[in-house]
Amino acid sequence: MGWIDTVTKWIAGKPQDDFPNSATMQSALSARVFRANGTVEDRGVVARKCVTNEGAYQLALGFTASGSCTIYNFKYHCAGYATAAETLNDTQAAITNAAGCNSIATGTQLASLITPHALYRTVGTINFGNSFAITEHGIIDGTTKASAKLWDRSVFGAITVASGDSIEFTYDLTIQAGG
């Protein structure tokens, strides 16, 4: 089985047990809600794995001089309220922006290595100026949603927010060496 088939199975969320000693990637999205009254709600991991086709393509482009991808720009967090399931074909247009919130936040970035795993983490906090039931999150490569590329889209159970609340999203991409 070739590397394209391996990557395709990974992106589709298939189990990796049939690929012993192969490199794999897994993503997880966690959320903490900061209420206007000062309380904090740790929601833990709210979603796992939905790197998009565009995200996988941008990763491949990152290795070429011919692509315009700057992989390190996938640090921007956006949130919305659409409930349609994630698909591999999602684009940034799939994220329904929550009007009245700073819907794109610049995330901090961290990379670490604990052999045989490498971790990419970005943490971004989105502030809300109105009440919403937030049900989706995306990692994009720019501050303008209309022109950004979507790395990962996650849909989860509603997190209800009111004016003055914020959600801190932590996106972890774990890459295991192998192959």
Residue 3 lies in a domain: no
**Window from 7-11, 56-60, 108-112, 160-164 with minimum mean pLDDT:** 7-11
Residue 11 lies in a domain: no
pLDDT at residue 100 is higher than 60: no
pLDDT-based confidence at 96, cuts 50/70/90? low
Spatial separation of the C-alpha atoms in residues 75 and 9, rounded to whole Å = 25
Q: What is the DSSP letter of 58?
A: H
Residue 19 lies in a domain: no
- The residue range of the domain holding 66 is 27-176
User: To the nearest 5 percent, what fractions of the chain are helix, strand and coil?
Assistant: 15, 45, 40
**Window from 35-39, 57-61, 97-101, 123-127 with minimum mean pLDDT:** 97-101
Mean of per-residue pLDDT scores for the chain:
80
Residue 1 lies in a domain: no
pLDDT at residue 171 is higher than 50: yes
* pLDDT at residue 162, as a whole number: 94
**% of the chain exceeding 70 in pLDDT:** 77
What total of structural domains would you count in the chain?
Answer: 1
Q: Which residues does 5 contact at the CB level (< 8 Å), separation at least 6? A: none
Residue 86 lies in a domain: yes
Q: Which residues does 97 contact at the CB level (< 8 Å), separation at least 6? A: 78, 79, 80, 103, 145
pLDDT at residue 94 is higher than 70: no
* pLDDT at residue 18, as a whole number: 53
Residue 41 lies in a domain: yes
* pLDDT at residue 45, as a whole number: 97
Residue 16 lies in a domain: no
Residue 17 lies in a domain: no
